[in-house]
Chain A
């Protein structure tokens, strides 16, 4: 599996935007970029995914670099409920979704 690199932790103030980076320099042409988050005591939750173009949904935006070697998950206005571990995962055409260490996001009031 192609690997991703994320900061171990990040901190944000409530109601401010948050940019969570992910590096994936060995990404292949068929790898999708997935983001999931896991709140305390819950299973992982799908956030967003993309292949080449930037993506927006009700939860977040995903900005993908032109060379696809990095991406950024954007939470437009962080709330306390967004405190979680955020995982950036590359997934090819197969079924496997393999989690890395993720970024622990702390949101302070």
Chain B
């Protein structure tokens, strides 16, 4: 079990659907992250939120829309996805503040997304 909870664990959606991925943590972390991982590849950073504000967007297509409604929750809204967007989507959280380069990230076990 991890301290970062992601739901759902699996999701199948059509290219015209709208769906959302949810991530929750109660460790008091104020930085939250979305990563995308294709099979047999390393995770790729998508977005970082710090104090509920978007801090990093790694040039992710607009069909992926992140949202951080409060300090414990992170959502990823999906719309008009393509089959190549099928992947494992990972959420993570970490502390912020000085020396944050040394703050470990805590990952969830991901949502496995299949776009048909």
Contacts and interface: CB of A to CB of B under 8 A. Distances in A.
A-B complex is real: yes
Nearest to B98: A93
Nearest to A93: B101
A51 B102 CA distance: 8
Interface residues of B, number: 27
Nearest to A95: B48
A45 B107 contact: yes
A46 B101 contact: no
Contacts of A94: 56, 100-101
B101 A99 contact: no
B7 to A, nearest CB: 14
A29 to B, nearest CB: 11
B109 A87 contact: no
A44 interface: yes
Interface in A12-59: 30-32, 34, 36, 41-46, 49, 51
Given A42-B109, A101-B42, A34 B104 contact: yes
Given A43-B110, A95-B31, A99-B42, A49 B50 contact: no
Contacts of B43: 44, 99
Q: Please report whether the interface of chain A is mostly helix, strand, loop or mixed according to DSSP.
A: loop
Nearest to B90: A43
A46 B104 contact: yes
B66 interface: no
Interface of A: 30-32, 34, 36, 41-46, 49, 51, 85, 87, 91-102
22 contacts: A32-B101, A32-B102, A41-B109, A42-B109, A43-B4, A43-B90, A43-B110, A44-B43, A44-B90, A49-B102, A51-B102, A87-B42, A91-B102, A93-B101, A94-B100, A95-B48, A95-B55, A95-B56, A95-B94, A95-B100, A97-B92, A97-B105
